[in-house]
Chain A
């Protein structure tokens, strides 16, 4: 095979580094360190790609460069240079996408070369692929189907040609390994972590245990060994479904197609893409055996927690090699590629458990395992500890990752992005310490096994400044800021009072604080809301009722303003969880996340609703910004109501349940929350720059401890955080 790339560098070491990198990654190339020889070789047989290194002496390469870029129209010219020479090259009309200034990055050079080669899809191989497709189709499918396909190919020929002219070339993909880590920074420029592809430890298919392969076949693609690359039955049914839904969302992919899909960098769901995948699948099937394909697939697939490939996944989840995992572990892994974060045992242990058992069931049904093996595997626990590298602000980083993965897919791990987040690492540290100390205080009182979470945001922009999703990420990755749905208790009350202010009430309007029995609309039964100290004050102002968190008075008010209006207000300030239309909801009986409440308070505090933002900007390898800040902001509360609610939330601090917070010598506002049996303790509050919320409780919803209220448990954490800012 002739060399597809010519490397020219007058600096021998740089030249050898580039040449070797390409060679190791499967791109044949010739290296020249002298002008004369390089020119001779290029003239003899112009290669599709030339890499030209001008770092050492641009001046003496200029002529060479000009001749090359003028004479070789079909050749892609990649130019390496000193950063300071870039303007000169740009002036000359060198394609800036193909100009790579130092720092010297051989992997990046390889990526560019590979991309350039991938564009080189010759007419010749196109013809071969088409012939193959037709042959395969005619050999294996009913006559009618064949006619349809041939017709389709005939009609869509030009279109398909266009599609596959941008197809990755599979020869090159033998050594597919495009990776440069993306780096994640805090707003104050602290490196939080790197998103990278775990060094893909390739394990050959014959070294993967049989039961592991079977686990995957059981869920992914039962017909794998029978069909030929593209499962036409699936594709047809997917097509029908798509026509019905007028979109292209249905999967219908075989393992080969999923492999083909992985070979593309960007996730997109279009017909064009689908056709590319099909053609690539056929090519792959022509080149590799079924076992090799399955091996490739298992080595490429993404299993969550940064693990690409089955070996990395075995290591990450079980701390051992693929060769050593048992049936139940294999079943868990087989469940992951479909939805790596959804079925992650660290995020949703119960879901992962169910899903794994589903896979085991399938293995049993398909006869891959015996009844005995099945029974035994069902009882195995799922892993609860991550065996990988640790990083800073982990809950936040993981939250960002989920968001970014949706948007950038694989690129997140491979394209060397610089991701600047909104997190303020200094505040994050303060938050983490505050949580730690809060938990310590509880331990001193003999209370253990309690979880806590904190979220701090900038209410003007929606930027997340600090996020602690639990006491120890490495024990439990369940994020109690974004994922735990809990009853907010009295922390919900400000929404009731805001509804009142919007409906003509004033902070000193009066309501009745009296024991009263209500008949619940939805259920048969009655309900008697009681005040915390069982003291009832008769007639009170709204302000006092909120400050002292009087339940009886609040329900009286809710009755007056109507529960449906309260629900409306809740939606307006951004609560997405559903609020049940009965009175207990006024006392915070409907579950929601800490994140929802904190953003609702941001609206309460400033009158405008903002959405959560965790990314400030992303810079790609070419130093281009991929996203800028794009938060939406909507005014939802009028001036008068805003002044009223702030005044009332200030009273909570000055005269109410959160008097402890007076130690902070600036104006702070907020509200405590405690739920039945002390299962949840809350404090949500703000000053003029920041909204922060703290939740304390147990994952299993058992009581924290007798008399452990929001004021006693959550407030001190909040105070420590706000005081130290």
Chain B
């Protein structure tokens, strides 16, 4: 697969005035494009040979790395998954020859990324996940090694020591006790060991940095990914409230699957193949998808009411706030309207001006993280 120019529609990061906040020092200008490469394993040099700050989004389903390259932003995406097969010398050699991402440990070969999916379908199994619900998967013993390996395949040692790298972390989940500290520290340590200067950014905040440049980074950013939804309310780029709920695209797949008696993978395939929430459902799977999208948006709206309602740090806003939706789960058409409807059912302590959807939902978090890395870089 070759390089795909996903960002045909003009500028994706605006140039901002000099007294704005956390803004890239060398604003990436109007002709900027984001280039997406789906299979970095074939030509790893591309990512690595580029100097400068990096933004990285480590999600439940995907890992995305973003860097600026001249006037463009280059974003590379990989599946955050692995698949193990028993070790044998021949297999190892074949893998190496085919430039497949893998590493070996305890007499096993760990296949990484998209290749893991290919292997899984050939061998008739499921891929395994180093990250679950946004955090390192406690059920996988090797999750740390896998994530390290994946990261190292993406980015090698920086040209400049202490190059800035900004990675996204989820907010504290409100529906389940879990700590992000462990997750954050492990990744930080690893990035440091590679020679970087790591900075963590809340995933919702990253969405705001990416999408709300025109509104002084003031508003609510929501990233709806595979494992969770991340929410951040920002005032002039200060994250005032952040949290997450541990429901996302995977939840929809699972619930629809068990409700209509299909494999989650089948549901996922239907969902990702041009499914449209703005038209009437045509079959059982689509009906299920409608129902659980509604369910997810409603949970999200209620959580907003609950969390914002109980926070006493929310300042007075002189004008209504925009909400921006991002993450793979908001790819289907009609998400905006569904969420709008869910919002009418709750009462928020802030008024909402409009609901926006990120231009490229799968890349917004990484792009925001990159913005942060560039800003930090220019400040010192």
Contact = CB atoms under 8 A, between A and B. Distances in A.
Contacts of A103: 316
A17 B235 contact: yes
B216 A24 contact: yes
Nearest to A103: B316
Nearest to B313: A13
Interface string B306-329: 000000111110110000000000
B238 A24 contact: no
Contacts of B318: 107, 179-181
B319 A199 contact: yes
B20 A20 contact: no
Contacts of B314: 104
Nearest to A105: B316
Contact of A17 (B20, B216, B312, B315): B315
Contacts of B216: 24
A46 interface: no
Interface string B233-269: 0011111100000000000000000000000000000
A26 B313 contact: no
B19 interface: yes
Contacts of A104: 313-316
B189 interface: no
Taking chain B's interface residues, is the majority helix, strand, or loop, or is none over half, making it mixed? loop
A20 B316 contact: no
B346 interface: no
Contacts of B237: 20
A13 B236 contact: no
A179 B19 CA distance: 19
B238 A20 contact: yes
Nearest to A107: B318
A23 interface: yes
A506 interface: no
Contacts of B315: 17, 104-106
A16 B238 contact: yes
A17 B316 contact: no
Given A23-B21, A24-B20, A26-B19, A13 B238 contact: yes
Contact of B316 (A11, A23, A106): A106
Residue of B216, B238, B312 with most partner-chain A CB within 10 A: B238
Given A17-B240, A24-B21, A107 B316 contact: yes
Contacts of B235: 17, 20-21, 106
Contact of B21 (A20, A102, A108): A20
A11 B236 contact: no
A358 interface: no
Contacts of A106: 235, 315-316
B216 to A, nearest CB: 7
B312 to A, nearest CB: 8
Contacts of A237: none
Contacts, number: 47
Contacts of A108: 316
Interface string B216-246: 1000000000000000000111111000000
A193 to B, nearest CB: 15
Interface in B257-311: none
B197 to A, nearest CB: 21
A107 B318 CA distance: 8
A24 B313 contact: no
Contacts of A181: 318
A179 B319 CA distance: 10
Interface in A98-142: 102-108
Nearest to B316: A105
A509 interface: no
Contacts of B236: 17, 20-21, 24
A14 interface: yes
A11 B313 CA distance: 9
- Of residues B21, B318, B319, which shows the largest number of chain A Cβ atoms within 10 Å of its Cβ? B318
A528 interface: no
Contacts of A20: 21, 235-238
A180 B21 CA distance: 22
A682 B19 CA distance: 60
Contacts of A26: 19
A20 B21 CA distance: 8
A105 B313 CA distance: 10
A17 B313 CA distance: 10
B165 to A, nearest CB: 23
A105 B319 CA distance: 12
Interface in A570-623: none
A13 B313 CA distance: 8
Interface in A1-54: 11, 13-14, 16-17, 20-21, 23-24, 26
Interface string A147-184: 00000000000000000000000000001000111000
A532 to B, nearest CB: 56
Contact of B19 (A14, A23, A107, A199): A23
Nearest to A202: B17
Contacts of B316: 103-108
A17 B319 CA distance: 16
A548 B19 CA distance: 75
A24 B318 CA distance: 14
A610 to B, nearest CB: 38
A24 B17 CA distance: 10
A622 to B, nearest CB: 15
A175 B20 CA distance: 12
Nearest to A18: B315
A17 B236 CA distance: 7
A654 to B, nearest CB: 53
Interface in B1-34: 19-21
Contacts of A11: 313
A105 B237 CA distance: 16
B326 to A, nearest CB: 23
Given A104-B314, A179-B318, A13 B240 contact: yes
A445 to B, nearest CB: 41
A11, A103, A104, A180 pick with most chain B CB within 10 angstroms: A104
A23 B20 CA distance: 8
A701 to B, nearest CB: 44
B356 to A, nearest CB: 17
Contacts of A13: 238-240, 313
Contacts of A102: 312
A583 to B, nearest CB: 60
Interface string A553-582: 000000000000000000000000000000
Q: By CB atoms of chain B within 10 A, which of A14, A17, A21 has the most? A: A17
B129 to A, nearest CB: 33
A199 B21 CA distance: 19
B236 to A, nearest CB: 4
A699 B42 CA distance: 78
A412 to B, nearest CB: 16
A525 B238 CA distance: 81
A14 B313 contact: yes
A175 B19 contact: yes
A173 to B, nearest CB: 14
Contacts of B313: 11, 13-14, 17, 104
B189 to A, nearest CB: 24
Nearest to A21: B236
Nearest to A180: B318
B30 to A, nearest CB: 16
A107 B235 CA distance: 12
A104 B349 CA distance: 13
A24 B21 CA distance: 7
16 contacts: A11-B313, A13-B238, A13-B313, A20-B21, A20-B238, A21-B236, A23-B19, A24-B21, A24-B216, A24-B236, A26-B19, A103-B316, A104-B316, A105-B315, A107-B316, A181-B318
Q: Which 7 A-B pairs have the closest CB atoms?
A: A105-B316, A20-B236, A16-B238, A104-B315, A106-B315, A17-B238, A13-B313
Given A20-B238, A26-B19, A181-B318, 13 more contacts: A13-B238, A13-B240, A16-B238, A20-B235, A20-B236, A24-B20, A24-B236, A104-B316, A106-B315, A107-B316, A108-B316, A179-B318, A180-B318
